[in-house]
Structure 1
Amino acid sequence: MTEGNELWLVRHGATEWSTSGRHTSVTDLPLLPEGEEAAVGLAARLAGVDFELVLTSPRRRARRTAELAGFPDAEVTDDLAEWAYGDYEGLTTAQIRTSVPGWTVWSDPSPGGETGADVAARCDRVVARARAAGGRTLAFAHGHSLRVLAARWLGLPPEDGRLLRLDTATVSVLGFERETAVVLRWNT
């Protein structure tokens, strides 16, 4: 791969559960008014950038963010869905830790949910599509899945996504420096 091949990541705007720290995967919450406002603000940051491929998670919070940011025709792909938390859906990390001390999504199982390897397999397909598309790919998705996606772009194991904090309604850019996959911008 060469310079010019980039993967732009956009985390969806704020929802009720993202602001309260509740793990949200399959629960299809709408954006809060401030999440919608932030998504509209993304449009100016993405305007004038040519994308070969625009993808979005199937969850309405990601699709709505894409729409408000100026990409209503983004291709929906299950590969960008958030990490499935299984029995921990809707719970905060603090709540989970009352029964599983020290639990993190990065190192411990989520009963009935996905493993890091499961999420990485989906993200690897997105990386392959982005690299094959050439130019720039834009992906609208979620906090944990985008962090795994970044780790996989960089050739790292999925659990290294824990090193990459990602706030709502932010833009991050992955690319290359010569032949090495790099982070060009993060959480801006």
Structure 2
Amino acid sequence: MNAHDPAELWIVRHGETEWSAAGRHTSRTELPLTAVGEETARGLAGRLAETSFDLVLASPRERARRTAELAGFPDVEVDPDLAEWDYGDYEGITTTEIRATVPGWTVWSHPCPGGEDAAAVGARLDRVVARARKHGGRTLVFGHGHASRALAARWLGEPVAQGRLFRLDTATVSVLGYERETPVVLRWNA
């Protein structure tokens, strides 16, 4: 890509951890990748090696940085704005467990007591979108499930809650870009 090409934002969700495999909400807790997570992260290297990136960023969390390293990007720049949604009191527990006391709860529609709300998450991710667009070319980010889904919504100019429409598995590659001047999803959860 050159400076006249519209920006692309490539999103990689970190590899599997024990908690992601169990559906436990993980924001601040530092967990290593599982053996499966390490293997799938290594598998990303071949998929990403054929593409040149102008900017490579990662969440400060170990699982995202380790995924970047195994995918062939050991010198990734850490960007705190890519951290996972802060689940507060819901850290380490599943949606089913939360719904035992808060029927119908989702991160998209209900608060996370002691954690972040959608507006705070959106403000952080708006800075990532602005940075990628200003930088131009291809930006690659290594992040997390809910925050990356919210990032896609913000790229498209939609409210954070629209991230609920984008399922995102571990160690997947998604690409956001443009069709003419309109921000679009070019590839998702691949």
TM-score normalised to structure 1 length: 0.98
Partner of 1:90: 92
The question of whether the paired residues in 1 share the 8 Å contact of 2:8 and 2:139 is answered with yes
Q: Is 1:8 aligned to 2:10, yes or no?
A: yes
Counterparts of 1:2 and 1:112, CA distance in 2 = 43
2:74 to 67, 72, 75: 72
Where structure 2 has 5 or more consecutive residues not aligned to the other structure, the ranges are none
Deviation at 1:48, TM superposition (A): 2.3
In the alignment of these two chains, the number of paired residues is 188
| Same amino acid, percent of matched pairs | 71
Partner of 1:46: 48
Partner of 1:129: 131
Q: Is 1:117 aligned to 2:119, yes or no?
A: yes
Q: How big is the alpha-carbon RMSD for the aligned residues of Structure 1 and Structure 2? A: 1.1
Partner of 2:22: 20
Counterparts of 1:25 and 1:128, CA distance in 2 = 23
Partner of 1:7: helix, strand, or coil?
A: strand
Counterparts of 1:46 and 1:132, CA distance in 2 = 22
Where structure 1 has 5 or more consecutive residues not aligned to the other structure, the ranges are none
Deviation at 1:2, TM superposition (A): 7.2
Counterparts of 2:64 and 2:28, CA distance in 1 = 12
1:32 to 31, 34, 37: 34
Amino acid at match of 2:121: V
Matches within 5 A, 1:129-168: 129-168=131-170
Counterparts of 1:154 and 1:37, CA distance in 2 = 32
Amino acid at match of 1:24: T
TM-score normalised to structure 2 length: 0.97
Deviation at 1:4, TM superposition (A): 3.9
Counterparts of 2:49 and 2:6, CA distance in 1 = 18
